[in-house]
Amino acid sequence: TEATGDTVRIFKPIEAGKNAAPRGEDIRAGEVVIEAGALLNPARLGALAAVGRATVLVYAKPSAVVIPTGKEIVPPGKGPLGPGQVYDINTATLLASLEEFGAAAAAHPVVDDDREALLEAIQRFPEADLLILTGGSSVGERDLLAEVFSEAGSLIFKGIAVKPGKPTLMAHRKGSRQLLVGMPGYPTSCLTNAYILLGPLVARIGHRPAPRLQTLELPLAGAVSGGSDRLQILTVAVAGGQAHPVFKTSGAITSMSQADGYIEIPTDSPGLEAGTPVLVKLF
């Protein structure tokens, strides 16, 4: 428009209803705004606000407690280390990953490799959805978790066909829906199993969709061996349009910290040659 004195000149016609939002244009009466069980992302929270809902009933975040075990384990900042001691890596990695997966996580101080001490630590958290103990899940003389889990509950499995990470176990606690999880003490094995086991488990307990990892199909930068009777999880770094294997050992946390994701090598695979297209699952 253009105003000249008391006159307004109109240069463009106005259609009836233009630039006005009619009632029910977005959400009509009786329409379902959010389906039960839907994940509340920013857009869905906006839809609730659009119909004036300030609160909504939700499932609580699963609660998890991480209990590191082993006389050789020292919390970071409590050094210097004595002979045969190592810093506790797994508590830091598990707390961070559990929060990422959608759990409310807390840590317990390090517990010695002692049956009574382990049972006492488990008894302190009857209300947690998950108790995750690290170390003591293999077959050494101080690996007591299978015995302790069998006493505290009903063992579901001991050992999984994954490399690294075979010494993993789980049990149902007696008289409770609580799950007891024994994770490997080696940091790469522990964190690998966090992604492939704890992530989906936390999602299931919390009534959330299963985690969907972003993937890339890339050529393998170097040959890798196979021949294992277990599914191999091989960490890789993405650089120059290729997937570079960076796995060192199960005890080397840099196998994870220098990686962008991992590839899976099937059971009894003869190995993969350099240049083979692989599916990289990004962390």
Per-residue pLDDT tens over the stretch 106-161: 999 999 989 999 999 999 999 999 999 999 876 666 679 999 999 999 999 999 99
CB atoms < 10 A from the CB of 230, how many?
Answer: 17
Q: How confident is the model at residue 209 (pLDDT cuts 50, 70, 90)?
A: confident
Chain centre to alpha carbon of residue 73: 23
Per-residue pLDDT tens over the stretch 178-204: 999 999 999 999 999 999 999 999 999
The pTM assigned to this predicted structure is 0.86
